[in-house]
Structure 1
Amino acid sequence: MKSKSKIILIFILFILGLSSQVVAQDDPSGDVEVFTWWTGGGEAHGLAGMIEAFSKIHPDINIVNATVAGGSGVNFKAVLVSRMLGGDPPDTFQVHAGQELNALWVAAGRMEPLNDLYEENGWFEQYPQGLIDLISDEEGNVYSVPVNIHRSNLMWYVPANLEAWGVTAPASWEEFVTTTCPTLQEAGIIPISLGQTWTQVHLWESVALGELGVEAYNGLWNGTTEWTSPEVVATFDRLGQIMDCANDDMNALSHQDALLMVTEGRAAFNVMGDWAVSLYTVDEGLEPGVGFAWVPSPGTDGVFMMLSDTFGLPKGGPNPEATRVWLSYLGSAEGQDIFNPLKGSLPANTTADINNPELYNAYFQAAYADWTSNTIVGSLAHGLVAPQSFLDGFYAIMAAFQSGRDSLTASSNAAVLALQTGMGR
């Protein structure tokens, strides 16, 4: 295994060599606070690489990399609300496309529209229309700049380990529970690793998609699927069966801890988004398809559950003109070709160099083929399909379910929460 720091340094030097070295003239100046939850691993390396390249072109703008730790932004979002409501907005902040952006910050009138920035940079022709729709209001005002596309519904494993243990990646959760799990438990292997509450919500959304199918899964968010229906109750039943196959210390583990259980040979599978690629390749130096591999989570072949990290311009930010320069770089193909190979995500800008194998490894090539051909659905755990108020409440429902395994209560509480938060109206 190569040294982690050496791998990261070599890659950043390579991508910086590809970036423009022309120093911009007549730039605004001063500090720009970029507020994220990217505190470690490939996400931090990707952001740092992009900041370094930006600083060479715009030396008078100082990017302040401000972060709050916590997977999926759980802690960050609480701090952000306090700052936004307290009159202390950052210059720009990380926010997931979809309801996390629209139902809170756009609806509250806290974001500046960015249509002129899109026109100046040609982004209306460079970003998929479906993605632009997720960050726009009904009048067509666009409120953020997507930096990537992630896939949520993936199951990770080590091919040599599965061969040694005599199992294969399951095609359905029924197969996992009835065949795969017992076989691995008899061999003394943890069948599936799992982390703290947000990763349990992440697992549930893949289980729900696999068990319900696309139409009924989408119906949870548009109001056509009843949360108390037998089919939805059964998704919690299935989740409980899967949790019975997982590690007992799940609530004490980060998502990185749970992913590393797979490559360390202590667990067979993990369901997590494709930021796992960054952990496995950049941090651990593993080769895709050899040191780790992936399949769509059981029952979801042909479906791409998406999310997207974006950045907007809050009203009242201290340095809006310099922030717009940063956002222009963030949304460019050049910036995204620096960030995404390290982050473990696809570029959102369609003019990025996705076909370059020196930038985008075998995983990205496969993911891009799926992104451009699969049925697309949105992630709950990562802010696309439901408002933050629903997700916050669902975390509590999931924590109670994990300890009590009461599927009827979980479904009933989710139904009440959906009504309280205006889901499906």
Structure 2
Amino acid sequence: MRRQLMAAVAVTMAGLLALTACGDNGSGGTQGPQADPKKKVEVFSWWTGPGEADGLKAMREIFQKRNAGLEFFDAAVAGGSGDKARALLTTKLQAQTPPDTFQGHAGAELQGYIKSGQLEPLNFLYDELKLKDAFPQQLVDQISVRGQIYSVPVNVHRSNVMWFNPAVLKEAGVTEVPTTIPDFVAALEKVRQKGRIPLSIGSEWTMVHLLESVLLGSLGTDAYNKLWTAGSDWSGPAMTKALNDFKTILSYAGDPADDWQPAAKQVADGQAAFNIMGDWAYGYFHNPPDGGLGKTSKTDFDWAPSPGTAGTFMWLSDSFTLPKGAPNRDGAVAWLKVAASKEGQDAFNPKKGSIPARKDADTALYTDYLADALKDWGSDDLAGSIQHGVVVNDPWRVSINEAVGVFHGDKDVAAFQTALAEAAKNSGQ
């Protein structure tokens, strides 16, 4: 089995390296970038899908307008949540061939790069642009280590969102949106009896995304947040109950789709009732058909906090970094200035389905779901995402992903709990 896994990893990495070698050069072709590397700015991300790619394009246009002498090179690698992108990025950094700037989730995800000395601190940029005044303090704290700040957050996302199709719920006789895990399970059962998919899921990382919402809803905010502190209890009865809740909910899931977009589309098209996914799904549901599904909110799709989590905002933030040895350091700094700017964030976030990291953004641009998110971000309790790098470093996240993958096959709660407890013990965090 291990040999098969290592072979699969080797094939994946070979494919990713081939993908990068024939990436988009910014002109729509398939050739690699031909410009003088002193002028090219390689921006590495995983924003390739509808909504996210549109948001990146909007920021790119601002960058090009401000920096006529620089060539933007989009080095995005496809794959929801960035797992494939981070695998390739590790290879590039180890080979000392970093991109000029790369996307990373604010929080613990950046710790590995910082400890390895692979990032430059950005205090100089924060001082120049007065970014400590522009960003919420909790964000600045998450991207700082011993007083040094290592990334520029471009947005805030909410992870714990339950998307649902009102017509499918009505057909199943679900008259109230479930707010607790028992109510959710009852609603899933009613949908199953009508022959629809109760819960759509995607690839393995979307199951980890589901797990974090179930843990938050079952344990409660305080107990969930204590999981990431010294002496956390992963072996107790409260965790056992939470994992059994996860097992029950997962039993109502349909066949895994390739990624989060086709899983979300099952809800929008009325094939499935529910999907637990971050609020980037809003951009995908809502944006016009050339960049999304063009669906109507409150009719084709609706939303609520994932069951048991009302009053808590499970958050994550996309940010950009400055790698040490960046081939075009000045170009990377120019990109970071756009990512940090009010203009850049207001162009990016409405299309991405996220709210701005800045406190002074134009609130008139954030309507419908995004207005709800802005309000809740300012008033709710906070909890950090597992899958999206806020509370766990990359090795710990990988261990959790592996445990979830095994559990999806064997449904053994005791073994799953042991694996999670061991991952926490070995996290070094």
**After TM superposition, is the score higher than 0.5?**
yes
**Shift in Å at residue 289 of structure 1?**
2.4
1:229 correspondence with 2:229 = no
1:200 correspondence with 2:207 = yes
**Shift in Å at residue 165 of structure 1?**
2.5
Deviates more, 1:283-292 or 1:87-96: 283-292
> What residue ranges of structure 2 are gaps of 5+ in the alignment?
1-36
1:382 correspondence with 2:388 = yes
**Shift in Å at residue 29 of structure 1?**
6.6
Matched residue type, 2:367: N
Distance 1:201 1:219 in 2: 18
Aligned to 1:340: 349
1:266 correspondence with 2:275 = no
Aligned to 1:122: 130
Aligned to 1:10: none
Q: 3-state SS of the aligned residue for 2:228?
A: helix
Q: Of 252, 268, 273, which aligns to 1:245?
A: 252
- RMSD between aligned residues: 1.3
Aligned to 2:74: 65
Per-residue CA shift, 1:5-61, capped at 9, x if unaligned? xxxxxxxxxxxxxxxxxxxxxxx9711100011112111111011111221121111
Maintained 8 Å contact 2:167/2:270:
no
1:39 correspondence with 2:48 = yes
Distance 2:170 2:427 in 1: 46
Aligned to 2:109: 100
Q: Of 159, 162, 185, which aligns to 1:152?
A: 159
Maintained 8 Å contact 2:181/2:307:
yes
Distance 1:30 1:230 in 2: 58
**Shift in Å at residue 181 of structure 1?**
2.0
1:75 correspondence with 2:110 = no
1:412 correspondence with 2:418 = yes
Q: 3-state SS of the aligned residue for 1:417?
A: helix
Distance 2:120 2:411 in 1: 44
1:111 correspondence with 2:119 = yes
1:392 correspondence with 2:398 = yes
Alignment of 1:231-380 (within 5 A): 231-247=238-254, 249-250=255-256, 252-282=257-287, 283-353=292-362, 355-356=363-364, 359-380=365-386
Distance 1:91 1:389 in 2: 24
Matched residue type, 2:129: N
Distance 1:418 1:224 in 2: 10
- Relative to the length of structure 1, the TM-score reads 0.89
Matched residue type, 1:114: L
Alignment of 1:167-182 (within 5 A): 167=174, 168-177=176-185, 179-182=186-189
**Shift in Å at residue 361 of structure 1?**
2.2
Maintained 8 Å contact 1:228/1:408:
no
Maintained 8 Å contact 2:168/2:272:
no
**Shift in Å at residue 287 of structure 1?**
2.5
Distance 1:208 1:327 in 2: 35
1:183 correspondence with 2:185 = no
Distance 2:300 2:187 in 1: 21
Aligned to 2:20: none
1:136 correspondence with 2:144 = yes
Distance 2:258 2:251 in 1: 16
Q: Of 153, 160, 173, which aligns to 1:166?
A: 173
- Report how many aligned residue pairs link the two structures: 388
Distance 2:230 2:297 in 1: 39
Distance 1:244 1:326 in 2: 45
Q: 3-state SS of the aligned residue for 1:294?
A: strand
Q: 3-state SS of the aligned residue for 2:227?
A: helix
Distance 1:361 1:291 in 2: 17
**Shift in Å at residue 320 of structure 1?**
0.6
**Shift in Å at residue 308 of structure 1?**
0.3
Distance 2:231 2:400 in 1: 19
Aligned to 1:56: 65
Q: Of 409, 414, 419, which aligns to 1:403?
A: 409
Aligned to 2:216: 209
**Shift in Å at residue 184 of structure 1?**
1.3
Aligned to 2:225: 218
Identity level (%): 44
Q: 3-state SS of the aligned residue for 2:109?
A: helix
Maintained 8 Å contact 1:234/1:407:
no
Matched residue type, 2:406: A
